[in-house]
Amino acid sequence: MAATTEEDEQGRAEERTGADERAGEPAPKPAPRQRGRGRIATAVSVFGELLITAGVILGLFVAYSLWWTNVIADREAKKQGNRVRDHWEAKGPGPIDTKDGIGFLHVPSMSGGEILVTKGTNPKTLNHGVAGYYTDPIKSALPEDDKGNFTLAAHRDGHGAKFHKIDKIDEGDPIVFESRDKWYVYKVYKTLPETSKYNVRVLDPIPKESGAKKADRYITLTTCTPVFTSNYRYVVWGKLERIEKVDNRRTPPRELS
């Protein structure tokens, strides 16, 4: 930094000399060697300023990724979530409607409140601060289906970071999915802290890697790991324990109170 300032001053000094010459005042002619050094100094100072600029832009990008995208995504998720709840109120009980969000995920061990669940896992969907259920490469089952695997993905960092604390989920912890008229209470039975991003078998209707043997109603959460990167995937599996009907006051099941 100090070097840059010094060079900057040299550059300015040179320019003042130039102005004097234009004004027609007899200025002492600087030696050519010095003039050359001034030009190099200017180039070095511009280069230094570009480096500083690059550093500031990278810093801003970090702020953007880890803070600003959360602000935007949380706002969007809240808007969409309110719309879903308004529709529920207007329509009354019924099967899951896949047009809007299909419901809310509550994971007490991750805290952070409810997570809206919508269809699809493409980046544009997930950037709205929601969890998406897979349609590709292996189609997810819905919680109301008799058998199958309800598979979800959400961001670990930025864009709402809804699965940021996925590593806080232990075996035996509850995962509750709230639909229009039912609470689906799942119990985590297996976590996989690191797997390849190509490991699509974790989404199988019977996820064998978790030790599951027979068809049942499973839930699978996936996100990236380690934090701030996408080198591997973190997977959490749960199995449906029971279903509770939603009452008039939407009293949550005891796992959430």
235 forms beta bridges with 192, 222
Would you give the DSSP letter of residue 255?
Answer: G
Residue 80 among the catalytic residues: no
Nearer to another protein, 34 or 230 (CB): 230
Nearer to another protein, 161 or 185 (CB): 161
**Alpha helices (runs of H) in the chain, residue ranges in sequence order:** 2-22, 32-63, 69-91, 123-126
Least separation in angstroms between residue 231's CB and another protein is 8
Residue-wise DSSP of 12-51: HHHHHHHHHHHTT--PPPPPHHHHHHHHHHHHHHHHHHHH
**CA–CA gap between residue 70 and residue 156 (Å, rounded):** 11
Question: What separation in angstroms does the CA of 138 have from each of 134, 148, 201, 205, 223?
Answer: 7, 11, 9, 9, 16
Least separation in angstroms between residue 221's CB and another protein is 10
- With tokens 């699965």, the residue in question is 163
Nearer to another protein, 121 or 191 (CB): 121
Nearer to another protein, 73 or 185 (CB): 73
* Token output for 3: 């070097």
- With tokens 């109120």, the residue in question is 89
Tally Cβ neighbours within 10 Å of residue 236: 30
Nearer to another protein, 163 or 183 (CB): 163
- Residue 133 CB contacts under 8 Å (≥ 6 apart), including other chains: 102, 117, 118, 119, 120, 121, 140, 142, 150, 151, 152
Least separation in angstroms between residue 65's CB and another protein is 7
Catalytic residue, chosen from 224, 225, 234, 238, is: 224
Least separation in angstroms between residue 17's CB and another protein is 15
Least separation in angstroms between residue 137's CB and another protein is 5
- Residue 2 CB contacts under 8 Å (≥ 6 apart), including other chains: none
Least separation in angstroms between residue 168's CB and another protein is 17
User: Where does this chain bind another protein (CB under 8 A)?
Assistant: 8, 11-12, 45-46, 49-50, 57, 60-61, 64-65, 68, 121, 123, 126, 134, 136-137, 153-159, 163, 195, 197-200, 202-203, 222-224, 228-230, 233
Nearer to another protein, 134 or 183 (CB): 134
Active centre residues (catalytic): 224
